Each structure stands twice: as C-alpha cells, then as structure tokens.
Amino acid sequence: SEGTYAGYVERQEADIRAYRREEAMELPADLDYDAIGSLSTEVRTKLKAARPASLAAAARISGVTPAAVTALLGHVKRQSAERKSA
C-alpha cells in the first residue's frame, strides 16, 4: 500500500519545496501594485502601505488573499522574465 502513495507523496514534497522557494522571493522595491489588475482596491492599498520585502511578508498582511499572493507572484515572475529578455 505504501507504493500506491509514493508518487503522490513525492509530488506533494516537490510542491512544498517549490512553494518555499517562491515564498522567499524578494519583491522589487519599485513594484507597481497598480499594474496588477486582478488585485482588489483594498489589497492594493494594503500592499502599497506595507511595501513587503518578500512574497511571504505580503502573504502575512491581514486581508491579502491567497489569490492576491498568486497574482503578485505571477506579476513579479513576468517582470523578471521581461527584464532578462530585454
């Protein structure tokens, strides 16, 4: 029965490692929260006021939803890719 779950456990451990890497991601000091269209006005205001240094710090702000953290992650990754290709 352990063999049945081995693939699932490996996948879950890989997901946890990926999440921890992303959670430690630093956010640019000049990040334009207004450019992230999917953020609510409330979340955008909180992020602008707090200016979190990392994705983990952003996730700990009261009222910042997992969906907002995901949008923030996607935006920062796209910006990073655009800067590398420029």
Sign of CA dihedral 86, 37, 44, 52: negative
pLDDT confidence of residue 61: 97
Question: What span, in angstroms and rounded, lies between the C-alpha atoms of 78 and 8?
Answer: 29
- What six digits make up the tokens of 65? 């939803």
Question: What span, in angstroms and rounded, lies between the C-alpha atoms of 58 and 48?
Answer: 10
pLDDT confidence of residue 10: 85
Q: Extract the runs of DSSP E, i.e. beta strands, from the chain.
A: none
In the chain, domain spans: 2-85
Domain 2-85 listed as CATH 1.10.150.570? yes
pLDDT confidence of residue 1: 54
Instruction: Provide the residue-wise pLDDT of the chain in tens; the chain has 86 residues.
Output: 566 777 888 888 887 787 778 888 999 999 999 999 999 999 999 999 999 999 999 999 999 998 999 899 999 989 888 888 87
Largest Cα–Cα separation, the chain = 51
End-to-end CA, the chain: 51
